[in-house]
């Protein structure tokens, strides 16, 4: 049993599919307070700040799992879009381009502390404009870094992938799996 300090449905899905028992809660950290523009710096700093807040709030009664993910497209940080207009801007930038999905995962128990920085790269074909509008109207892009949904909208546009799909969905499961066996 562990404490997933994230409200992400994708992370929840990954743990459930891998039969990991967990309690899900908010990490309690407002990443809007971070003023970083470098995707790599942002994802690392956000994860560490979320971890510190979760540790302070929950302690280690249960092992803590804290994760943050961002998108890097054209050397630009893409976080969760604030509205549909911003989601459309992100998606238009990604269309026919490459993105890097960066994640930072911290797993901490009484037995160990593990941190992992992951990167998954996708090269996309150009998005169909009608399909893009349907995706935007669906609201499925909400709470997704860069409005990216590799298991949904983006899937049919993938030309090339380098890295883990689970990392792209928000939790690099292959990296933490050996450590989960120690819990």
Answer yes or no: 131 catalytic.
Answer: no
Report pLDDT for 28: 80
As given in the structure block, the two tokens for residue 92 are: 């238009």
The torsion angles phi and psi of 90, rounded to 5 degrees, stand at -60, -50
Among the listed residues 30, 68, 128, 131, the single catalytic one is 68
Provide the total of helices (H) and of strands (E) in the chain, helices listed first: 6, 7
CA-based torsion, 44, 117, 135, 9: positive or negative? negative
0.85 exceeded by pTM: yes
As given in the structure block, the two tokens for residue 125 are: 């074909």
**Residues 72/145, Cβ–Cβ less than 8 Å:** no
**Residues 80/145, Cβ–Cβ less than 8 Å:** yes
Q: How far apart are CA 107 and CA 112, in angstroms?
A: 8
Per residue of the chain (183 residues), what is the pLDDT tens digit? 999 999 999 999 999 999 999 999 998 898 889 999 999 999 999 999 999 999 999 999 999 999 999 999 999 999 999 999 999 999 999 999 999 999 999 999 999 999 999 999 999 999 999 999 999 999 999 999 999 999 999 999 999 999 999 999 999 999 999 999 888
């Amino acid at each position: 049993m562990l404490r997933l300090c994230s409200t992400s449905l994708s992370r929840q899905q990954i743990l459930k599919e891998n039969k990991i028992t967990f309690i899900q809660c908010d990490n309690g950290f407002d990443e809007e307070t971070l003023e970083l523009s470098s995707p790599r710096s942002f994802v690392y700093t956000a994860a560490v700040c979320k971890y510190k807040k979760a540790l302070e709030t929950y302690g280690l009664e249960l092992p803590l799992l804290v994760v943050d993910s961002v998108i890097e497209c054209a050397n630009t940080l893409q976080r969760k879009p604030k509205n549909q207009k911003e989601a459309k801007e992100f998606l238009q930038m990604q269309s026919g381009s490459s993105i890097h999905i960066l994640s930072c995962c911290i797993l901490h128990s009484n037995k160990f502390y593990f941190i992992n920085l992951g990167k998954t790269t996708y090269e996309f074909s150009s998005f169909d404009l009608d399909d893009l509008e349907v995706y935007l109207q669906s609201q499925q892009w909400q709470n997704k870094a860069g409005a990216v949904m590799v298991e949904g909208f983006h899937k049919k546009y993938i030309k090339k992938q380098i890295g883990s799909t689970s990392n792209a969905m928000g939790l690099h499961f292959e990296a933490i799996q050996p450590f989960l066996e120690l819990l």
